[in-house]
Amino acid sequence: MATERPVRLGDPPPARRTLRIEIKKTHDGRPSLACVRADASRTWARVHPFLPTHDLAHYAVESVLGIDDAFFGLIAQGWAIDDFASPGVVRRLPAAAMYVERIVGYVERGMAPDAAALASALALDGTAAAEPTGAAGAAFPAVTEEQLAAIAALRAACIAEWRALPPGETLRLTFPATPA
């Protein structure tokens, strides 16, 4: 499927699109990721064994923070999984996608034990919540302690479910996650 025009911060917000995520634990150790959009179109790829847990961190961060223009939100809008590996993709990504990627990285490396530590880390790399990101000067809201705890809990539950999955089985999730 051809990639739609990238969504940019400041674009009118679309109705929150849903996506069915299927991560299959294959017998050969190279998982596959398939995403089925609300219109039944799909994108899929074989992925590196590292990526399912990274993708589950994206799932948690994007769901909890309500961000629709990062990895899974962009797929729901029409991006293909392979689009994220294409040359020059970083220039086409919305600012929110880069913001989420940084949060995911800090969460995965254990560098965000609390909201203050996360805010400090984002400030050091130039992604502070107060940094203007859109034409209208919109800023990313700071991640709260409650949000960070919800991200950690959702991520941990998804990773535990993934690790317990026998080869040949598929973890199925709906994006965005619905609050417990």
Domain ranges of the chain: 19-175
Q: 119: buried, middle or exposed (CB in 10 Å: 19+, 13-18, 0-12)?
A: middle
Give 75-93 pLDDT, tens digit per residue.
999 999 999 999 999 999 9
Give 1-17 pLDDT, tens digit per residue.
444 445 444 444 455 68
- Chain centroid to CA 67: how far? 8
DSSP 8-state secondary structure symbol assigned to residue 34: E
pLDDT exceeds cutoff 80 at 136: no
Structure tokens at 145: 């302690």
Say if CB 127 and CB 99 are below 8 A apart: yes
